[in-house]
Amino acid sequence: MGALSVNTALLRQILVGFVHDEVTKVGLHKGVLGLSGGIDSALVAYIAAEALGPENVYAYCMPYHTSNPESEAHAKLVAESLGINYKVLEITPMVDAYFSLYPEASNMRRGNKMARERMTILYDHSAEVGGLVLGTSNKTELLLGYGTLHGDMASALNPIGDIYKSQVWELSEAMGVPREVIDKKPSADLWAGQTDEQELGFTYRDADELLYRMVDQRMSRAELVSAGFEPHFIDNVLRKVQGSHFKRRLPIIAKVSNRTIDRDFRYARDWGK
């Protein structure tokens, strides 16, 4: 174990460089992000402030009335310790207006709607301030599909999408993210007392150790079992990865022409940058 430990100085240099380079090459110099009070968005705020300067980072805390007040307090703490622009925008009126039409809607539908409400606000503000929306989904969440498509998964660029949750913790320590944000239990904060690990049914540490071997090292199932992973845990995680793959891809297009976007019309996004 412990294969996930990273050289944080080097990782920081690459991720800060990434944000600076990918924002400035499109002729902009500002970044916009949602600050939930959790560690992922806090880390992205730290990276962005270092890459673009705190005055060029615009953070928005967008609580719903059931959100834990501690989340907003932590978002504020992060924003104030960095000196970035910070605003609180309640999403309760918009979300409630919609669900008054569907009072029977499940927690999942409500959670997805909230995530997408926040996304529309971020994109609107990105147009207002002239900045790019920074993604805050880490590799663990992206692989497990533990996020809302076109909601929190939507962004222009994501500095932490290739680092596991365990590495988010390690880098956050190195970059000075406030202790209380690092130490608290990860939560999507959709209802009181919710934690990610409870909902997923396993810990991020365990998932990361498995995903690292399964995805990065391409170990076979037999190798994973002999490395000590429970077969049902392996199957459960693999099912989540496979079942959520659609969230990691662009919509598929029915091919009829000779050059179909993304199939045989292939250009980097940084085309001409």
Partner 1 sequence: MDFTVALAQIKPKLGCLDDNMALVEAAIEKGIAAGADLVVFPELALTGYFLKDLVPEVALRLDAPQIGKLKTLSLRISIAIGFVEVSSDFRFFNSALYLEDGEIRHVHRKVYLPTYGLFDEQRYLARGDRFRAFDTRFGRVGMLICEDMWHISAPYILAMDGAMTLICLSSSPGRGVSGSEGLGSSAAWQKLTSTAAMFLNCRVFYCNRVGYEDGINFWGGSEAISPSGEVTDRGALLEEDLVVAKVDGGALRRERIFSPMMRDENLAITVKELKRIDRENEC
Residue 222: CB minimum distance to partner 1, A? 24
DSSP string, 78-126: HHHHHT-EEEE---HHHHHHHHTS-TT--HHHHHHHHHHHHHHHHHHHH
Phi/psi-derived region of residue 113, left when phi > 0, alpha when psi is between -120 and 50, beta in every other case: alpha
In single-letter form, the type of residue at position 13 comes to: Q
The answer to whether the CB of 137 falls within 8 A of the CB of 41 is: no
Q: Considering beta carbons, is residue 18 or 99 the nearer one to partner 1?
A: 18
5 binds partner 1 (CB under 8 A): yes
In single-letter form, the type of residue at position 163 comes to: I
Number of residues that bind partner 1 (CB under 8 A): 24
User: Which one of residues 14, 225, 252, 261 is an interface residue with partner 1 (CB under 8 A)?
Assistant: 14
Q: Considering beta carbons, is residue 232 or 266 the nearer one to partner 1?
A: 266
- Alpha-carbon distance 12 to 60, whole Å? 23
**Choices 12-20, 31-39, 105-113, 245-253; region in contact with partner 1 by CB under 8 A:** 12-20
**Residue 271: helix, strand or coil by DSSP?**
coil
Residue 165: CB minimum distance to partner 1, A? 15
Burial letters for 32-60: b for 16+ Cβ neighbours within 10 Å, e otherwise? bbbbbbbbbbbbbbbbbbbbbebebbbbb
Residue 6 sits at the vertex; the CA angle it makes with 80 and 198, to the nearest 5 degrees, is 70
The answer to whether the CB of 113 falls within 8 A of the CB of 99 is: yes
Residue 74: CB minimum distance to partner 1, A? 27
Q: Considering beta carbons, is residue 23 or 61 the nearer one to partner 1?
A: 23
**Choices 58-66, 146-154, 221-229, 261-269; region in contact with partner 1 by CB under 8 A:** 261-269
**Residue 150: helix, strand or coil by DSSP?**
coil
249 binds partner 1 (CB under 8 A): no
- Alpha-carbon distance 232 to 247, whole Å? 24
Residue 160: CB minimum distance to partner 1, A? 11
13 binds partner 1 (CB under 8 A): yes
273 binds partner 1 (CB under 8 A): yes
Binding to partner 1 in span 101-160, by CB under 8 A = 157
257 binds partner 1 (CB under 8 A): no
**Choices 6-14, 64-72, 139-147, 223-231; region in contact with partner 1 by CB under 8 A:** 6-14
User: Which one of residues 250, 254, 256, 268 is an interface residue with partner 1 (CB under 8 A)?
Assistant: 268
7 binds partner 1 (CB under 8 A): yes
Whose tokens are 């928005």? That residue is 60
26 binds partner 1 (CB under 8 A): no
Residue ranges that bind partner 1, judged by CB under 8 A? 2-3, 5-7, 10-11, 13-14, 17-18, 21-22, 25, 157, 265-273
